[in-house]
Amino acid sequence: MLRNWTQKGIEKVKQSPTRLDAAKEAFKAVGGTMTAFYITMGRCDFVAVSEFPDDESAAKAALALSAAGGVRTESLKAFTEEEYRKIVSSLP
């Protein structure tokens, strides 16, 4: 998930570690896990690498985070190398 702080989120940036912990718990609540977190420079303020059992669970987590008002989330689905090879090998 690519994320940016909202005005509300950046105004309370010192509280962001607590919000990160809450996000990890929200992911667990829908069966997911945050496997990595990076603060970034550039178009996005931070990136969270996550795994979910399905796309619906990922959507629930993203919506819950955005609804809290501190961040805007852009989901980015990634495929493993194995999945990539399977997809490419099935092309006509």
pLDDT digits (tens, 9 = 90+) for 17-43: 999 999 999 999 999 999 999 999 999
User: What is the band of 5 on the pLDDT scale with cuts at 50, 70, 90?
Assistant: very high
Q: Answer for the pair 50, 34: CB distance below 8 angstroms, yes or no.
A: yes
User: What is the band of 12 on the pLDDT scale with cuts at 50, 70, 90?
Assistant: very high
pLDDT digit string (tens) for 65-83? 899 999 999 988 999 999 9
d(CA 1, CA 39): 12
One-letter-per-residue 3-state SS of the chain: CEEEECHHHHHCHHHHHHHHHHHHHHHHHCCCEEEEEEECCCCCCEEEEEECCCHHHHHHHHHHHHHCCCEEEECCCCCCHHHHHHHHHCCC
Q: Which domain holds residue 35?
A: 2-89
Q: Give the pLDDT of residue 22.
A: 93
Residue 72's CATH number? 3.30.70
As for how many domains the chain has, the answer is 1
